[in-house]
């Protein structure tokens, strides 16, 4: 069985910067652990631990396809990101639920 070296958040942040050139603070990794969208992690009690392989996979997922000019980026980039669409739908659903609750309270 191969031993895997796990990194704490600060070390994971340093690893991403040194290995991939990604500036992600330990606090950003903590936020992403709460809201989602960050690298896979494990816990040892309360301590979050990241494997270098999971950090590599996450960093790779952030990269775009190769391009020769910045004009190619606009052809690839969607006009509205999926997360924004989800957020707009969630906001609309909450507003509708609030409106329905208020209407029911008045009746």
Domain membership of residue 56 as a residue range: 1-63
Q: Is the dihedral of CA 53, 56, 58, 61 positive or negative?
A: negative
In 3-state terms, what secondary structure has residue 7?
strand
Mean pLDDT by 10 residues, the chain (107 residues): 83 97 96 96 96 96 90 64 51 63 63
Bridge partner residues of 66 (DSSP): none
Looking at the fold, whether 38 and 82 belong to one and the same domain comes out as: no
3-state secondary structure 31-81: HHHHHCCCCCCEEECCEEEECHHHHHHHHHHHCCCCCCCCHHHHHHCCCCC
Number of domains in the chain: 2
Looking at the fold, whether 59 and 78 belong to one and the same domain comes out as: no
């Amino acid at each position: 069985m191969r031993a895997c070296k796990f990194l704490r958040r600060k070390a994971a942040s340093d690893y991403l910067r040194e290995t991939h050139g990604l500036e992600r603070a330990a606090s950003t990794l903590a936020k992403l652990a709460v809201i989602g969208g960050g690298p896979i992690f494990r816990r040892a009690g309360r301590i979050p631990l990241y494997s270098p392989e999971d950090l590599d996979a996450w960093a790779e997922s952030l990269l775009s396809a190769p391009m020769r000019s910045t004009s190619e980026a606009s052809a690839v980039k969607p006009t509205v990101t999926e997360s924004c669409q989800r957020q707009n739908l969630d906001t609309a659903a909450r507003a509708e639920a609030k409106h329905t609750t208020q209407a029911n309270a008045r009746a």
